[in-house]
Amino acid sequence: MRLAVTVLSAAALAAATPLSAKVAESSATGFSTQDMADVAATPMETWLALIRPGAWWTDAHTWSGDAGNMSLTPQAGGCFCERVPGEDRPDGFSLDGSVQHMTVIQAYPLKALRMRGGLGPLQGEPATGVLTISLEEIKGGTRIRWEYVVGGYMRYEVPTIAKAVDGVMSQQLASLRDHLGALAGEATPDRGSDEREAGEEPSIESQIDALQDTE
């Protein structure tokens, strides 16, 4: 019951503002981030865009350097995956690689998508996370909420990686919103004090290093 009240309170707080991005919770064992944006698209249009990450995910936060290599199968057990093309070799022989970013554990078309996995550097840690993306029809468009809850052992200072991960999640949501079109009257997402072109965004590893240098 207490968990339900907490979730509803968080949802009400998010609904009170047109745009939000924050580290909601942080402890010695994990953290959670929350991000929200309103888009000028129907839930159907938003869902169809959401399940095609290759069209909006930022290149800087991929293993291959090209978001076009990413795919998502929106059904339980489905893979949020990335193909890593083989490098050209003098002998003309190469092998493609692949990455499983997350596994779909719930797909409720037009309503919610939930996936489990460690994004970015978290993939190399025992810690894992659950990303819940919910869609809500609102006047003139759709409200998108992201919550990424991470827990377990990791070789990072939790406050440092939590801040970096929240920044990356905000970038991806901003990219999806730009792809669909922002709902009129909504502010532009804060992507950091130094604006960058899509291909120049720092990697999550460099963000962690930068944060550690300032502590």
**Beta carbons of 36 and 143 less than 8 angstroms apart:** yes
Query: Domain range holding 202?
Result: 11-83+97-213
**Beta carbons of 52 and 72 less than 8 angstroms apart:** yes
Q: Is residue 92 part of a domain?
A: no
Nearest to 135 by CA among 49, 6, 13: 49
Nearest to 201 by CA among 71, 67, 72, 80: 67
Q: Is the pTM of this model over 0.85?
A: no
Q: Is residue 17 part of a domain?
A: yes
Q: Is residue 91 part of a domain?
A: no
Q: Considering its fold, how many domains does the chain have in total? A: 1
User: What pLDDT score does 195 carry?
Assistant: 39
Could you tell me which residues are beta bridge partners of residue 37? 144
Q: Is residue 2 part of a domain?
A: no
CATH number of domain containing 104: 3.30.530.20
Q: Is residue 1 part of a domain?
A: no
Q: Is residue 122 part of a domain?
A: yes
User: What pLDDT score does 2 carry?
Assistant: 31
The radius of gyration of the chain's CA atoms, rounded to the nearest angstrom, is: 17
Assess whether pLDDT exceeds 70 at residue 12. no
pLDDT one-digit tens code per residue, 97-154: 999 999 999 999 999 999 999 998 899 999 999 999 999 999 999 999 999 999 999 9
